[in-house]
Each structure stands twice: as structure tokens, then as C-alpha cells.
Amino acid sequence: MKRIQQRHILEKYGTNLFNCVVNLYFDYAATSRMEDEAIGEYVKTARDYPGNPSAGHALGKKAKEKLEDERCRISSILGVGSEEVVFTSGGSESISLVFQDLLWNVRPGSVIIGRLEHDAVSSFAPLLKEKGWRVNYIKPDRDGKYDTELLSSMIDRETKLIAIQSVNNVLGLVTNTKEIADVVRKAEEREKRNMFFFSDSVQAIGKVDFPLHEEGVDGASFSAHKIGGPRGTGFLYVRKGKSLRPVASQGGQERKIRGGTENLPGVSAMRKALEIAFENRKEKEEKVRKLNAKLREGLEKAGIRIFSPVSASPFVISIASPLPSEVAVRMLSDKGIYVSAGSACSENRKGEAMEILTSYGIRKDEAMRAIRISISEKHTEEDITKLVDEITKLGA
């Protein structure tokens, strides 16, 4: 019967389930529906700017001007310099560009990586070790904050990179990024050498307050599809005065850091998505905080354990479902409710969310029942009530 109902939904609404009245999408941390205005920008730019920005003819120059205009507009939204924005295919590639820079070093040194990092960061550890690098890990406290004294003691003259997320993708933990940046700057003065503080900020952009210059990071990765932009589009922030060396510069685009023909329509759509995300951002965040509080209250009354602390980003909350993760996700999906088993990336690499949760101190048997719920300002209190009700029924 459930399969028949799903087939009826698809026949009536097509593949656009976001327009379906029974749809309750709670997986925004994995990806979001592309904003209609962003789609409009994509189509308009694709139609009006057919030239390659690297071409020397008039259409190419027109496309190049458009690309740089978009770069200026995006940097203005973020309060950074246009020369500090490097367009990429998304968060994972932005992270790769930072870590590949280390491979150029003739003499390996050491790196410090947060214990709860996304797989796009932590997966570089084996390669670095193979190349002779020393990889050190540091764990946060229950609220996601890092001990700055401990971090300072770990940094030595061989340390070249410190990589710690700004907002965790599984638990929503919000890191004390500015304090970490201050530690790195003092360590540079102490050791008389430059270091690079990188922060995977995919879950922060457009959601929580994260002014790049004030936070003091040297590099940060962002992905458009987390905030209503197109998939396969993102950017890397590289603070002025810091530089990265690519493994191969290809065509030399994007300050020779990321070669290849630029995705101009995607960049235009990403800019529009950023504008929408930053419009009344504080009000949107406050609405989500209220929805998060309502969700927590309902889950606690139902006896559901919540892993994410109250101090976490209100947009992400991980819990222990009454059933194993994959079973719970499937059963909720049958009801038209969509959540993830830990994190979306863990569906392809099941160990990632488990490793993050157990490193955080959650027992393995509970981690195996973890589901991640990610909220949007588009949700209503009725949506939250329905979600709590269906999660509670899983254990019945």
C-alpha cells in the first residue's frame, strides 16, 4: 500500500516532491532545493553569456566581465576582497585544493586536524602519512569548542596546516573559530613562520554568523547547493597574503589555483542564492531556533535521546532513533519524511558518521541508530509536530 501511495505521489507531482503537500524534507544539510530565482539567474546567464571567459574575442571578454562582476558581488556579500574568492566545483574540491598544496613541500612537516572533521578533510590523513607527514588530531569538548591551550602546545615549528571545521556536518557543533585563529597567529609569531588555518565552513555559510575576516581563518570552503544554489558549484576563500600551489594549474584560471573553464551560469546562480540566504538572515536563524526548540521539546517528551547539544547550530540536530539508522530513514521516507542516516556522505561511506559520533563519545550501539535532521526556515511548527509524531511511532 505504501509503495502504491508513493507511486501516486510521483504521478501527481512528478519528481518535484518539494511541491508535494505530504513532503516533509528534513535533509537540508545534505542538499537544498534550488531557489527559483537562482534557477532564473542560471538560465539567463547561460543564454546571454555563451562565450568562454578565457577566450580573447568579444563574447569571451563579455563573459569574463560577467564572471568578475559576480566575484565582486559575492565578495561584497561576504565582506571580503574579490581577490580572496576562488570559484570551484564545491566544498570537497575546495578542501582538496588546500590539502594538495601540502604535497608540494619537499620536506614534510606536521598538520593538526579536528577529530570530528568531514570525510573530505579526514580522508587526506592516510595520503599525508604516506608522504611522510605527521598527522595530529585534537578533539573538541561536548559543545564543539577546542582547548586553545592544548592546541597551542601542539603547534610547533613543523606545523604547516591546522584544519578545524566551523560547523560540524553531523552534530551541528559550532567551533570557537576566532579563538583558534588567534592561537595560530600567536604561534606564527612564536615560531617565526607562516601557517595556514583552514576551516570547512560548508554548514556555516548563510546560516550562522560567520564573518570571514573577523573569524581570522586563512581559508574556508563553501558549497552552493547547501543554500539553494546549484550542485557542482562552490568557492574557496583564501585570505589576502596567503597563497596555495595547485598540483597542476591546467588552464591557469582562478589565480592559477583551480584551472578549467569557469562555470559562469553556476556562479551567477550561486550569487543569487547567497543574496537570498543573507536577506533577513538573523530573522531566519531565529525562526529556525524556535523550531529547533520545539523539536527538542517533543523528542525529549517522547524519550528520544538527542546527541546534538543545545549550543549546536539550530539547523542541524542528530538523535538516536528507536530503530537502526537505515531502517528508520527508509520507514520515514515511506511516510514522505526525509532525513539522513548520520550525514548524506555517510550513505556512500558508512563509517564517516559512525566515526564522528563515537569520537564525540557516543556508544557504538547508539551511533548505529543515529539520524540527522536538518531544519530550514521554510518549515512550520506543524511540520515539526508531524516529524516528532512519526519518529515516536518508529518504536511502537
How high is the pLDDT of residue 106? 76
The H or E element that residue 276 is part of is helix 264-278
What are φ and ψ of residue 231, in 5° steps? -70, 155
Residues 49 and 8 in one domain: no
CATH number, domain containing residue 200: 3.40.640.10
| Other beta carbons within 10 Å of 21 | 9
Residues 133 and 77 in one domain: yes
Residues 269 and 143 in one domain: yes
How high is the pLDDT of residue 255? 85
Residues 318 and 365 in one domain: yes
Residues 191 and 319 in one domain: no
Number of domains in the chain: 2
What are the beta bridge partners of residue 112?
136, 162
Confidence of residue 346 (pLDDT cuts 50, 70, 90): very low
Burial class from Cβ neighbours inside 10 Å (0-12, 13-18, 19+) for residue 57 reads: exposed
User: Which residues lie below 8 Å from residue 250, measured CB to CB, with a gap of 6+?
Assistant: 259, 260
How high is the pLDDT of residue 2? 47
What is the pairing mode between strands 134-138 and 196-200? Answer: unpaired
Interatomic CA distance for residues 28 and 339, integer angstroms? 9
Residues 274 and 307 in one domain: no
Considering only residues 13 and 251, tell me which one the structure prediction assigns the higher pLDDT: 251
CATH number, domain containing residue 388: 3.90.1150.10
pLDDT in tens, 233-292: 999 999 999 989 876 667 788 988 898 999 999 999 999 999 999 999 999 999 999 999
Please state, for a pLDDT cut of 70, what percent of the chain lies above it. 91
Q: Long-range contact list for 7-12, CB < 8 A, 24+ apart?
A: 9/336
pLDDT in tens, 129-153: 999 999 999 999 999 999 999 999 9
Residues 162 and 19 in one domain: no
How high is the pLDDT of residue 11? 53
pLDDT in tens, 163-173: 999 999 999 99
| Other beta carbons within 10 Å of 65 | 12
**Once rounded to an integer, what is the mean pLDDT over residues 207-226?**
96
Residues 273 and 312 in one domain: no
**What is the end-to-end Cα distance of the chain in Å, rounded?**
20
Confidence check: pLDDT of 14 > 70? no
pLDDT in tens, 48-59: 999 999 999 999
pLDDT in tens, 63-90: 999 999 999 999 999 999 999 999 999 9
The whole domain housing 328 covers 2-30+280-393
Residues 198 and 310 in one domain: no
Could you say which of 261, 278, 295 is where a domain stops? 278
Confidence of residue 333 (pLDDT cuts 50, 70, 90): very high
Which residue in 343, 32, 326, 360 sits closest to 170, CA to CA? Answer: 343
Confidence check: pLDDT of 123 > 90? yes
Q: What are the DSSP calls for 203-253, one per residue? A: TTTTTS---HHHHT-SEEEEEGGGTTS-TT-EEEEE-TT-----S--TT-T
Joined together, the cell numbers standing for residue 383 give: 511540520
In degrees, to the nearest 5, what angle opens at C-alpha 314 toward C-alphas 239 and 98? 25
pLDDT in tens, 92-107: 999 999 999 888 887 9
Interatomic CA distance for residues 285 and 236, integer angstroms? 24
Confidence of residue 13 (pLDDT cuts 50, 70, 90): very low
How high is the pLDDT of residue 247? 67
Q: Mean pLDDT of all residues in the chain?
A: 91
Q: How far from 184 is each of 149, 166, 334, CA to CA, in Å?
A: 11, 15, 48
Residues 228 and 286 in one domain: no
Interatomic CA distance for residues 101 and 21, integer angstroms? 47
Residues 273 and 293 in one domain: no
The H or E element that residue 110 is part of is strand 110-114
Which residue in 241, 282, 223 sits closest to 89, CA to CA? Answer: 223
How high is the pLDDT of residue 159? 97
Could you say which of 225, 255, 278 is where a domain stops? 278
Confidence check: pLDDT of 5 > 90? no
Residues 242 and 335 in one domain: no
**Once rounded to an integer, what is the mean pLDDT over residues 342-354?**
58
Confidence check: pLDDT of 368 > 70? yes
Could you say which of 227, 259, 278 is where a domain stops? 278
Confidence check: pLDDT of 20 > 50? no
